């Protein structure tokens, strides 16, 4: 089934496709070589709204899925149905269903580890990879929870997310408020953004207590945008955020399943773009970031730092991100 929407972001076609037994929602625009855009937490295809038209106008077929468990896509019931192997499998199946590739894969936030790992394990299907916010990590993905617990404590958000049903209920209670709070709190416009720090929930507080509802949204984010994100999640009711949270509940399982590929680099051209006010920068640190880029992406095209930008890279700085992506795509095509 294909649907088409127009408006401020051009004509975007919407459809559903089944890959690996899971129904995924797709948004796409344009014709030409495939560029696959993978969103992060807690977003949807809509996080790429500013990228569709410019990339399509440059001659590319731009496809952004709602990834497994997110937004308009299906939510498998089992927690262990959200490992990185499942997510990489979804991307490889999508590339096959959309023409066979090779494709350029771009990921933001959680979508970045999926993109990096897909490029590492299936370079035959990926001709270029770009990560926004999250740099290239070992193929197994995020660090083990014990390591994060030791460094940031029990209140670290990735640890907090492990409690069955807790964050699920908090985030689903009022999705409109959830998106206002989380998108603002991770942005470069929040108070104290010039000194980014880890997201930690103090003992005795709830997750959303740490991200106040802003009185005014930043210029890059509108009430219509908030409503679009909330509408994407409406179909799952009380479980709206359970699928996305299950990605975090597989962090240790990912490290176990993918241990055999530890040390494997990314042997395709790469691009990394991040804001200097991104929380991820604080988690990793400049020295570790430099080592990751040097050792895991030997064919790195550029490392772009966006002054004043926070975590929502392509939404906060669409013009700069589009320019970086188009420069990368032109280099690949040349």
Residues with a known catalytic role? 109, 311
Closest among 102, 103, 73 to 87, alpha carbons compared? 73
Which contacts (CB < 8 Å, 24+ apart) does range 236-241 have? 236/75, 236/172, 237/172, 238/168, 238/169, 238/172, 239/75, 239/168, 239/172, 240/171, 240/172, 240/175, 241/42, 241/167, 241/168, 241/171, 241/172, 241/178
**Cβ-proximal residues to 234 (8 Å cutoff; 6+ apart), any chain:** 175, 240
In angstroms, the CA 259 to CA 141 distance is: 10
**Cβ-proximal residues to 246 (8 Å cutoff; 6+ apart), any chain:** 69, 79, 81, 82
214: DSSP letter: P
């Amino acid at each position: 089934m294909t649907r088409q929407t127009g408006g401020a972001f051009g004509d975007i076609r919407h459809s559903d496709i089944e890959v690996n037994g899971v129904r995924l929602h797709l948004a796409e625009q344009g014709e030409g070589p495939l560029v696959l855009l993978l969103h992060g937490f807690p977003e949807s295809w809509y996080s790429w709204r500013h990228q569709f038209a410019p990339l399509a106008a440059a001659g590319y077929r731009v496809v952004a899925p709602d990834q497994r468990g997110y937004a308009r896509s299906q939510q498998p019931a089992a927690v262990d149905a959200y490992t990185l192997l499942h997510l990489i499998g979804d991307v490889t199946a999508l590339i096959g269903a959309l023409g066979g590739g090779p494709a350029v894969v771009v990921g933001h936030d959680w979508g970045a580890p999926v993109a990096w790992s897909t490029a590492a394990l299936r370079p035959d299907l990926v001709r270029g990879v770009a990560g926004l916010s999250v740099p290239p990590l070992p193929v197994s993905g995020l660090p083990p929870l014990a390591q994060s617990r030791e460094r940031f404590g029990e209140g670290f958000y990735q640890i907090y997310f492990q409690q069955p049903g807790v964050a699920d209920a908090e985030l689903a209670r009022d999705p409109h408020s959830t998106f206002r709070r989380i998108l603002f709190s991770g942005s470069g416009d929040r108070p104290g953004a010039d000194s980014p720090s880890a997201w930690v929930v103090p003992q005795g507080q709830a997750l959303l207590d740490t991200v106040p509802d802003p009185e005014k949204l930043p210029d890059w984010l509108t009430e219509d945008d908030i409503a679009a994100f909330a509408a994407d999640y409406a179909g799952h009711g009380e479980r709206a955020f359970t699928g996305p949270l299950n990605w975090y509940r597989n962090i240790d399982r990912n490290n176990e399943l993918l241990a055999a590929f530890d040390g494997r680099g990314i042997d395709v051209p790469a691009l990394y773009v991040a804001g200097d006010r991104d929380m991820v920068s604080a988690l990793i640190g400049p020295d570790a970031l430099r080592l990751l880029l040097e050792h895991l992406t030997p064919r790195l095209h550029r490392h772009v730092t966006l002054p004043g930008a926070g975590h929502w890279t392509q939404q906060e700085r669409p013009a700069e991100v589009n320019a970086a992506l188009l420069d990368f795509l032109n280099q690949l095509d040349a």
